[in-house]
Structure 1
Amino acid sequence: MTATTKKLTFAEYLLYNDGTNTQYELVDGELIPMSLSTLSHGSISKFLERSNDYEIAFRSKNWTAQKFSVGVYFLLSLWLLTTVRVNQYVES
């Protein structure tokens, strides 16, 4: 017998709280416990935060980029950096 679990939507993932300190990532609708971060994770996160701060200041926007302990931050940072780089390429 196979147990099936309901796949979560992104909105459900954002609201999910199992009462523990475990952080999860959402993969194909399933919650996957995240391992503890390493030094390289912290360095990458800091790089993304500084890069976002630079781009925001360069464009004189009233935005903020902060390092949060939510998996979504990395995706948003990556999207912002990719969008900025693509726009710089297209504008040149």
Structure 2
Amino acid sequence: WGFVGYHLLRRKLWSIKPPKTPAVLVGRRFDFGYLLFLWAARTLAARLAAVLKASGVVPVPPERRRRTPPRTPAPWPRATSADPTP
């Protein structure tokens, strides 16, 4: 911050434009929204895992876990290609 402060003082006292601040002095730019979301997701996942473990819930084995929703019959009859109605 000394670099920036020195040049701001020069601009205030002698109206000299400061040079562009090198990126090394400013630091890297962070996506704070993403970092906050990532922190919250990790924290909540850890808390949920601890609560589930303490409650005695047994996780479903991966081979029995359903990857797609179950097939449910449609509330109306399905149209077939042999249907004579236009």
TM-score normalised according to structure 1 size: 0.28
Higher relative contact order (CA 8 A, sep 6+): 1
Which structure: larger Rg?
A: 2
TM-score normalised according to structure 2 size: 0.29
